[in-house]
Structure 1
Amino acid sequence: MRIVVIESSPHKKGSSNLLAERFMEGARAAGHETAVFDAGHARIAPCLGCGACGMDGPCVQKDDMGKLREEIAKADMMVFVTPLYYFGMSAQLKKVIDRFYAFNGELSARGMKTAMIVAAWDSNDWTMKDIQAHYETLCRYLHFDNRGEVLGMGCGSVAMTKATAYPGEAYRLGKSL
C-alpha cells in the first residue's frame, strides 16, 4: 500500500512529526511505502470558493497543492498529521483540506483509507473532542475509511512526547495496516 503522510506543523522536528515518523516506521516494517508532504512549509493558498473547478477539475490556483493532488492520486491512504492549535487542526492542514474542494468527487468516490495523528500539550479528557469530531465528519462526508487515530495528549515538546506511550501507539498503528 502507498501511504501519503501530510505533515502540517511549522516545527519540522516537533511532536506531531515525531509521531508521524514512528507511524511511518511501523508502516514500512509492515511492507508499505510511505511519502511525506510537508504542508507546514508548502506554498498552499486558501480555497477561494470561486467554484471554477466545479468540484472536479483543476484549481485556478497554481501552487504546491497540485503536487499533493498528484501524490494523493497515487496513494491508497492519507494520514493527516497536526499539532493541536486551539482544539483544532493547524491552519496549514486546514488549507489542504479546504482545497480538496477541487477534487471532492474524485476523493469521495475512492473510499480512501485515512488516519489522523495529533499532538497536544493539554491532557484534559476533553482536549481532543473537537478535532476528533471534525476528522470523523470529514471521513463520513468524503467516504474515507478511517483506519485509526493517535490522539497524543501531554505531547507539548519532543521530550514530553518521547516520555508518553504515543510514539509506540503511532508505530503500532502503522504496523497494523
Structure 2
Amino acid sequence: MKILMITGSAHKNGTTAMLASEFIKGAEEAGHEVYRFDAAFKNVHPCIACEKCHNTDAGCVFQDDMNEVNTQLLAADAVVFVSPIYYYDINAQVKAVIDRFYANDSALHGHKKAVLILAMADDTMESADGAIVSFKGMTKFLDWEIAGTVVGVECADVDALQKTDYPAQAYELGKNL
C-alpha cells in the first residue's frame, strides 16, 4: 500500500513528529511504502479559489511544493494527516495542503483510506472537535474510508507523550492499516 503522510508541526522532535514516526515504523514493518510530506518546512501557498486549475490546462496558478504532494496524493492508497491542535483545529500548514486538494478534486473521490493523528496539551477531547469534524466531512465528501484516528490529549511535550500509550496506538494503526 502506498501511503502519503502530511504533517504540520514545525517541531522536528515534537509530539506529532513522534506519533508520525511510530505510525511510519508500523506501516513499513507491515510492508507499506510511506511518503512523508512535512508541510511546515515546505512552500505551499494557500488556495485562492481562482479556478485556474479547473478552467485551463495549466493547472494551479501556484507552482510550489504542492507539485511534490500531488504526485504522491494521486498515487496513494491512504492519506495520513498529522497535526498538533492549535485553537481547536488542525494547524494552518496541514489545512493549506488540504485546501489545495481542490485542483485534483475529481481524481480524488473514492478508493482511499484516511487516518487522522493529533496531539494537544489540553485535557479534553472538545479541543479536537474542530479537527475531527473537518476530517469526517472531508472524508465523507471524498468518499474515503476512515481507517483510524489517534488523538493524544495532555501531551504538551514529548516527555508527557512518552508516558501514554498514544505512540503504541500510532504504531499499531500503521502496522494494521
- Class of the TM-score when normalised by the shorter of the 2 chains: over 0.9
**1:70 — aligned with what?**
71
Contact 1:84 1:118 in 2 (8 A): yes
**1:89 — aligned with what?**
90
**2:133 — aligned with what?**
133
CA distance change for structure 1 residues 111 and 164 in 2, over 3 Å: closer, same or farther?
A: same
Contact 2:74 2:107 in 1 (8 A): no
Equivalent residues in 2 for 1:24-103, closer than 5 Å: 24-54=24-54, 58-103=59-104
Q: Distance in 1 between matches of 2:55 and 2:35?
A: 25
Q: Distance in 1 between matches of 2:56 and 2:155?
A: 38
Q: Distance in 1 between matches of 2:55 and 2:128?
A: 30
Q: Distance in 2 between matches of 1:55 and 1:142?
A: 21
User: How many equivalent residue pairs?
Assistant: 176
Worse-matched range after superposition: 120-129 or 163-172: 120-129
Cα shift readout 1:117-174 (whole Å, capped 9, x = no counterpart): 0011101142222211110011001111110010111111011111111001101111
Cα-Cα RMSD: 1.4
Consecutive unaligned residues of structure 2, counting only runs of 5 or more, are none
Q: Distance in 1 between matches of 2:129 and 2:73?
A: 27
What is the DSSP-based 3-state SS (H/G/I as helix, E as strand, rest coil) of the residue aligned with 2:41?
Answer: coil
Per the normalisation by structure 2, the TM-score is 0.95
Amino acid of the residue matched to residue 37 of structure 2?
F
Q: Percent identity?
A: 38
Cα shift readout 1:68-113 (whole Å, capped 9, x = no counterpart): 00111222111001000001011000100111111111111x4211
What is the DSSP-based 3-state SS (H/G/I as helix, E as strand, rest coil) of the residue aligned with 2:126?
Answer: coil
Shift of 1:56: 9.1
Cα shift readout 1:45-67 (whole Å, capped 9, x = no counterpart): 00011011118962111000011
Runs of 4+ in 1 over 4 A off after TM superposition: none
Q: Distance in 2 between matches of 1:152 and 1:56?
A: 43
Per the normalisation by structure 1, the TM-score is 0.95
Q: Distance in 1 between matches of 2:56 and 2:102?
A: 8
